[in-house]
Amino acid sequence: MTDSSPPLHHVIESAQFQREGLESLIQLTDGIRRFGKTQEGLLYLKRLLRHKRVMLYFTQPSTRTFLSFQSACDILGASTCEIRDSSISSERKGESIEDSLRTFSSYVDMIIMRSPVAGLCMKIANLLDGTPRPVPVINAGSGPDEHPTQALLDLYTLHQSFGKIDGLALCLVGDLNRGRTIRSLTRLLMLFDNIKLILSSPTEFAIADDLRQQLASSSVEFVETTDFEEVLPYVDVVYMTRIQDEYDQEEGDSSTIDISPYRLSLEQMAKVPANAVILHPMPRRDELDWRIDSDPRARYWRQERNGMWIRAALIAKIFGVHQNLVLPEL
Ligand code: NCD
């Protein structure tokens, strides 16, 4: 596997990616997935990063992102250490978050971090760049702001489902204002041709102004609506999201808004084209009927697993061990 796209160091936001890099990452992920299908392939992958240590700093709740990054490191043989609760770290003693993260960089070769603070990853990456140990930082979710690796796995799942991304019509539903997966995915989609977006949310949770402006100056054709049901027959993708009530300003903020129209029911699936796919970054609540799980158009479980593979590809690329991956002689 040869890759002529630019090298990658920090992964902070969707806007840092170009189409060429995304296409080669998709290809690399396909390759790594193929290796993952045999014992020989898995043992080969496991030797690639045996010499690396990775810090998982997740101070905001996480199940799949944490586990998929941990599994990705494991697949490549990198060892991991973790902090999941800053109340049992020295932050409790008054240490600044900057000092804590600089400390981690003393012990590890990469920091993967999720935090409720928007912009923190960028700040830490810049801080480390000014030190003798500028280890790569991967943003695994930064407040309501960005979740670039989720967008990468979403894109990979689209490519896997349709063999292309250009020309797709996607309906994004739910909390489009505070859903970071929406922000990051929308920004990546702007790099592709003839994309149509139908953005459906309660008016209170419509996309943020900065994203609307970016969309308006991109080639993406987009409409905003409070009724997604009427567009279901015309879309390739329905991307459901939950209401992000952990960011409510006041207790009960979201509970005063009627979110019942932003649920996808089994009955509504009759309107969705036979070759369309249903995605969800998960976790879900009642916005996505569990009875849809057994429908072949439901791709969210595959989407989750793809997260592990594309994160492995991303880490391999950052450490530069992705070039010339060759299956060992059997
Ligand atoms: C998302 C997140 O954390 O932003 N989850 C995930 O990482 N797959 C979506 C969400 O929490 O709603």
pLDDT in tens, 18-50: 999 999 999 999 999 999 999 999 999 999 999
Once rounded to an integer, what is the mean pLDDT over residues 164-176? 98
217's CB contacts (< 8 A; 6+ apart) are none
- For the question of residue 114 being annotated catalytic, the response is yes
pLDDT at 250: 65
User: Could you tell me if 325 and 315 are in contact, meaning their C-beta atoms sit under 8 angstroms apart?
Assistant: no
Position 252 confidence tier, pLDDT thresholds 50, 70, 90: low
Once rounded to an integer, what is the mean pLDDT over residues 55-67? 96
- For the question of residue 93 being annotated catalytic, the response is yes
- For the question of residue 123 being annotated catalytic, the response is no
Distance from Cα 55 to the centre of ligand 1, integer Å: 20
pLDDT at 255: 85
Q: Summarize pLDDT for 62-100 with one digit per residue, the tens.
A: 999 999 999 999 999 999 999 998 887 777 788 899 999
User: Could you tell me if 174 and 240 are in contact, meaning their C-beta atoms sit under 8 angstroms apart?
Assistant: yes
Residue closest via CA to ligand 1's atom 7 equals: 65
Mutate to test the pocket of ligand 1, among 244, 282, 311 (most ligand atoms within 8 A of CB): 282
Mutate to test the pocket of ligand 1, among 65, 121, 142, 311 (most ligand atoms within 8 A of CB): 65
Return the sign of the alpha-carbon dihedral for residues 144, 148, 149, 151. Answer: positive
Distance from Cα 43 to the centre of ligand 1, integer Å: 31
Q: Summarize pLDDT for 259-284 with one digit per residue, the tens.
A: 999 999 999 999 999 999 999 999 99
- For the question of residue 65 being annotated catalytic, the response is yes
Once rounded to an integer, what is the mean pLDDT over residues 247-262? 85
**pLDDT > 70 fraction of the chain, expressed in percent and rounded:** 98
pLDDT at 179: 96
Distance from Cα 148 to the centre of ligand 1, integer Å: 11
Position 330 confidence tier, pLDDT thresholds 50, 70, 90: very low
pLDDT at 152: 98
pLDDT at 238: 98
Residue ranges around ligand 1 (CB below 6 Å)? 64-65, 141, 147, 150, 180-181, 241-242, 281-283
Distance from Cα 140 to the centre of ligand 1, integer Å: 10
168's CB contacts (< 8 A; 6+ apart) are 158, 162, 192, 195, 196, 236, 237
- For the question of residue 186 being annotated catalytic, the response is no
pLDDT at 4 > cutoff 90: no
Taking only Cα atoms into account, the Rg of the chain, rounded to an integer number of angstroms, comes to 20
Position 323 confidence tier, pLDDT thresholds 50, 70, 90: confident
pLDDT at 329: 54
216's CB contacts (< 8 A; 6+ apart) are none
Distance from Cα 40 to the centre of ligand 1, integer Å: 33
Residue closest via CA to ligand 1's atom 11 equals: 283
